[in-house]
Amino acid sequence: METVQFESQKELSSILREIQTNFGPKYGVLFKCHLSHWNRMSDQNQDLWLKSTSSAPRLLDGSHCWRGRAPLARELFMDTIKEISTENSTTQKSSESRFRANFQGEVDEAFDPYLVLSQLIDPDPNKPGFLTGLRLPSIDQFGFRSPCDISSIIEPFDETNNQVNLTPKYSFVDLHTDYGADGLSTVIGECRKIWLLYPPTDNNLNAMKSIDGQRGKLLRLVHQLEGGVLVETTSSHAIFIPAGCAHATFTLQGGYLVTKDFTTVKSLNAIASFIVYGLDETLPTEAREVCFDWFERCLDVTLAQQHVTTAISAWLKAEAKLASWASTHRRWRVNVRRLWEHHCQDSVVSCPCDLQEPTSSFFQHFSSVHMGSLLSSSQLRRCR
């Protein structure tokens, strides 16, 4: 056991040294932080993950993510050139469905996407840029999907939103949380990345909220965050990214990253926590809507799979924030109300809020007390 720990410590140190060499001495602070290698986590760390989100991050076999073979980097490169030239000939920009150039950790409309391509051949440590949100036809043609072995951890539902990021060497994606979905990412070609991931515990969400809008999040927060996990991905790998976890990536060898979103029956608590801490408020408008859409999908999956108590506790936790969102988003309000009606009309659970009268059914109680904001006034009268 001691030898294993020693080996993993050596491996961890050599990776951190590589980060420092390529991304600057400021990342030397990572040596002083509690980080675990993903498959050598302490029970305590494992617990932080399992209690706050769908599971802990895991490495999977990347070759199983494709119906046949994986696409080659050169095939994605050809797609990218076409995508950029089409983008340049249209005027609509900055939508969630278009790709974006990023520079110094921010979306930068002025950064030339062809410059990113040139950095694949000749990486620029001083001005590294990368592209996110590319929609390349090869990804669907080659049949990108969750590998079977993911079901040993979680069961993915509603797989969607296949996207490609083009990240030359020196690309650094600062600490951020995707909008609440679980994710799967796999690298193509010679690309190699280091991921730091943190579970959505109260401590970590609070820390993320406290530096909302500031740059250099990883360096600012690294001493406050708990449960940090380090994962190295190469082309033989896919990484499972649990819902709501904050993550940062360092690209040590440039190339493509292919990603997709999904949800699980264990993700609703993490999405609710994300909303409770107001982290959705830090997202651009469109991404914030995507966040509440994931809440809706995940609620559907959770209720459909009969995890009613999980759904109730996530709902109660975020009740005030959900009510406020519902008040200005009619379609969401109607859909979510239908989900509760459809799945819980006859549920025989009792509500953990202790306000349920012995004479009223769960659904009567839940509709009038916890879904008031989702009902019209005539519907409310009928519940009482």
Q: Which residues bind Zn ion (CB under 5 A)?
A: 178, 351, 353
Identify which of 1, 8, 6, 3 has the alpha carbon closest to the alpha carbon of residue 232: 8
| Bridge partners, 233 (sequence order) | 193
CB of 157 to Zn ion, least distance (A): 20
Rounded to whole angstroms, the Cα distance separating 212 from 257 reads: 26
251 with 193: CB under 8 angstroms? yes
Provide Rg for the chain, Cα atoms: 22
CB of 41 to Zn ion, least distance (A): 20
Q: At what angle do helices 308-317 and 285-304 cross, to 10 degrees?
A: 150
CB of 54 to Zn ion, least distance (A): 15
Q: For Zn ion, which is the closer residue by CB, 129 or 244?
A: 244
Q: For Zn ion, which is the closer residue by CB, 63 or 364?
A: 364
CB of 176 to Zn ion, least distance (A): 6
Identify which of 266, 255, 253, 236 has the alpha carbon closest to the alpha carbon of residue 77: 255
Q: For Zn ion, which is the closer residue by CB, 75 or 178?
A: 178
Q: For Zn ion, which is the closer residue by CB, 75 or 248?
A: 248
Rounded to whole angstroms, the Cα distance separating 352 from 19 reads: 47
Tokens standing for residue 171: 């690309």
CB of 95 to Zn ion, least distance (A): 18
Q: For Zn ion, which is the closer residue by CB, 73 or 371?
A: 371
CB of 205 to Zn ion, least distance (A): 16
Q: For Zn ion, which is the closer residue by CB, 344 or 351?
A: 351
Rounded to whole angstroms, the Cα distance separating 101 from 115 reads: 10
Which residues have a Cβ under 8 Å from the Cβ of 48 and sit 6 or more positions away?
199, 201, 226, 227
